[in-house]
Amino acid sequence: MSKRNLIIGAVVVLAAAYGGLTATIIPEGTEAQLTGEVVFDPTVNAQNFWKEQGPKYFEDNAVDFAQLVSEANGDFTTVASKYGHYSMGDSGELSFIVKGTGTIKTVKNKLRSGYVAFQPDGVPESSVSYRLQIGPVFKNSSVRDTINTISYRDYKNQIEWAQVSVALHNLILKDVLSQVNFEGTEGRKVSYVGCYTVTRPSQVLITPVSVTIE
């Protein structure tokens, strides 16, 4: 056989081999049906928790805020094992689920990070400022970090973990805070259940999961 015929034969064999290969084309967004990988959706995760447990979880696990302040006596780490929740299991940011009442001092609901400043009942007045976050932008991830059934270990990365917190805040904004009219409430009593992350000693910032103006 000539060299030319050998080359042609090799090309035919290769063409036949490649012809035996097949490709599966699937619509964009349906890759999980082929790979079996579940697409992460923080909104669904948050909604499932909110529907199945929601505010009742926080009410059942809340400590009276005045009691917490009194027992901590300026150092919340001393009551961490009794009432606290760490963001990374046994380390990270320390948060608490709290409940209480107080008197509204000022309302800042025109800001992106809106808040209600109040004086908690049973807590001596001092230089510490006490605020209930009312959004639409929320600082910290207090709500997510105080839920024992949700763990950072269940998520691939910090982006997914952060999205869970945002989804919970959106639910609180829609189902809780949008139902409350804070206009002209200075001097009135407020009852709340919420979550607080220890950050600056001079400020306590509580994200409410339940709030009532009396």
10 Å CB burial of residue 110 (0-12, 13-18, 19+) is exposed
Q: Which residue has the tokens 């949700």?
A: 150
DSSP 142: H
The predicted model scores a pTM of 0.81
What is the tens place of the pLDDT at every residue in 173-192? Answer: 999 999 999 999 999 999 99
Give dist(CA 123, CA 65) in Å, integer: 8
What is the tens place of the pLDDT at every residue in 145-165? Answer: 999 988 888 888 889 999 999
Using 50, 70 and 90 to split pLDDT, how confident is the model at 13?
Answer: very low
Contact (CB, 8 A) for 117 and 104: yes
pLDDT at 21 over 70: no
Which domains does the chain carry? 40-213 (2.40.50.420)
Rounded mean pLDDT, 76-104: 94
